[in-house]
Structure 1
Amino acid sequence: MEREWVVEESVAIGADSREVYAAVADPRRMREWSPEVFAVWVRGRAVVPGLRFVGFNRIGWRLWFTSCRVTAAVPGQAFAFRVSSFGMPVALWGYRVEDIGGGSTRLTEYWEDLRRGGRGAAFVSVLGRLFTGVPAAHRAEVNRAGMRATLDRIRTGVAG
């Protein structure tokens, strides 16, 4: 099986695009949605490009943290952030928010693995497996399952 470097999943939500955006664009709320994130520390108040936060994650008994920086924050349209570990790029995560009419919104969550090429990428991949228990070659499938759970939680929480 060839390694996947990009994964995305979408869901239709019976809510206004601004309401959906507000739910996903506040890093403090990620623990409500994600099956891996259990806490978030945010450095700053306004969710704008450049905002930094730390995500505390777990799978089973394994715990780790990631340093994140918001790269896109367009109300009602898009929210994204880059993840790094030990100063090296790990991933880009984001959400696209699209009004599909009738008071509904399509929410797409996406992930891109940035651990490509070079010794640094190999080092971060080894650390990733050590801390998460997930080999880099299987990270996409784990993220796909996590995205489905996340999107379902957001759909239920926002449209609820």
Structure 2
Amino acid sequence: MTAREWTAEESLECTAPPHVLYQAVSDLRRMKEWSPEVIGVWRRGDRFVGFNRRAFWVWFTHCRIVVDEPGREFAFDVATFGLPVARWGYRFAPAADGSGTRVTEYWIDHRRGGWRSRIAETLGLLFTGTPAGRRAARNRAGMRSTLRRLCAACQLP
């Protein structure tokens, strides 16, 4: 058995400039256009509720925007029933050849130790059907899909 992974990230180079990609991901109502799990978002200021679905599992999360740097980075912390779950974010940097933007989606699991984390782990399994040991791999697959869709939606003509 492999060791549990607490972080994951995926990157893709897009033709769109950083500010265009940033605008797309920071307009959280549009997240359902790129994410294979998000089915809706209800936003109030720097907080929002995310509604998610995978197969027959449906769940919601309470989120708070924690990094909001136009054209550079956008990130939010996720909780469920007041229990910390994870940080999800996007970083934007010039592509190596200067032809566009390298966009990176990242995830950091916040369920580490203590009774609150054990409860959050159990809820995560019940809501998503994904055991903790498979979470990073599943998230990477979702990130690849999200980034492909995001880049396709924002590509320059």
Q: Same fold (TM over 0.5)?
A: yes
Aligned length: 154
Superposed CA deviations along residues 39-74 of structure 1, whole A, max 9, x for unmatched, are: 000013xxxxxx000000001011000000000110
Superposed CA deviations along residues 67-123 of structure 1, whole A, max 9, x for unmatched, are: 000001101000000000110100000000112364400000000000000011011
Q: CA deviation at 1:134?
A: 0.6
Q: CA deviation at 1:24?
A: 1.1
Q: Which residue of 1 is the match for residue 17 of structure 2? A: 16
In structure 2, C-alpha distance between the alignment counterparts of 1:41 and 1:136, rounded to whole Å: 27
> Structure 2 counterpart of 1:3, which letter?
R
In structure 1, C-alpha distance between the alignment counterparts of 2:16 and 2:31, rounded to whole Å: 19
Q: Which residue of 2 is the match for residue 35 of structure 1? A: 36
In structure 1, C-alpha distance between the alignment counterparts of 2:91 and 2:37, rounded to whole Å: 20
- Percent identity between the two aligned chains: 53
Q: CA deviation at 1:25?
A: 1.4
Structure 1 vs Structure 2 CA RMSD:
1.0
1:96 aligns with 2:96: no
> Structure 2 counterpart of 1:83, which letter?
V
Q: 5+ residue gaps in structure 2?
A: none
Superposed CA deviations along residues 1-37 of structure 1, whole A, max 9, x for unmatched, are: 0000000000000011111111111111111110000
> Structure 2 counterpart of 1:9, which letter?
E
Q: 5+ residue gaps in structure 1?
A: 45-50
Q: TM-score, normalised by structure 1?
A: 0.93
In structure 2, C-alpha distance between the alignment counterparts of 1:20 and 1:124, rounded to whole Å: 31
> Tell me, what secondary structure is at the counterpart of 2:68?
strand
Q: Which residue of 2 is the match for residue 57 of structure 1? A: 52
Q: TM-score, normalised by structure 2?
A: 0.95
Matches within 5 A, 1:1-160: 1-44=2-45, 51-100=46-95, 102-159=98-155
Stretch of structure 1 that moved more, 95-104 or 24-33: 95-104
